[in-house]
Structure 1
Amino acid sequence: MTFEKNTELDQANLRIIVTICAIGYISVLGFLPGHAVGTYLPVILYYVVFLLVSIGLRHVISRWPGHYPTRRVLGMIHDYTGTSFGLVVGAEAALPLYAVMVWINLGNGMRYGSRYLAIATVLALLALMVVYWLTPAWQAQPFMVLMLMITSTVIPVYAHLLLERTRKASEQAVAANLEKSRFLAQASHDLRQPIHSIGLFTACLREARLGDQEQRLVDNIDRSLLNVSQLFRSILDLYTLDNGRVLPNYQILHLGDFLADSVLQNAEAARWAGVELRLRPCAQWVRVDPVLLATMVQNVLSNCFKYGAQRPVLIGVRQCGDGLAIEVHDQGRGIDKEHLLKVFEEFYRVRHQRDKDVEGVGLGLSIVKRLGLLMDLNVTIRSRLGHGKTVRLYRVARALQPNTPTLQH
Structure 2
Amino acid sequence: MTPDKNLIAAELERTRARTALLTEAVDDDELIRQHSPLMSPLVWDLAHVGNQEELWLVRDVGGRDPVRQDIDHLYDAFKHARGDRPALPLLDPAESRKYLTQVREKALDVLDRVRIDERPLVAGGFAFGMIVQHEQQHDETMLATHQLRAGGPVLSAPEPPPGNARVRGEVLVPGGPFTMGTDTDPWALDNERPAHAVDLPAFLIDAVPVTNAAYASFIDAGGYDDPRWWSSRGWAYRHEAGLTAPLHWIRDGGDWLYRRFGRVSPVRGDEPVVHVCFFEAEAYAKWAGKRLPTEAEWEKAARWDPETGRSRRYPWGDDPPGPEHANLGQRHLAPAPVGAYPAGASPLGVHQLIGDVWEWTSTVFHGYPGFKVFPYAEYSEVFFGGDYRVLRGGSFGTDAAACRGTFRNWDHPIRRQIFSGFRCVRELA
TM-score, length-normalised on structure 2?
0.20
> Quick one: higher RCO (CA 8 Å, sep 6+), 1 or 2?
2
The higher radius of gyration belongs to 1
TM-score, length-normalised on structure 1?
0.21
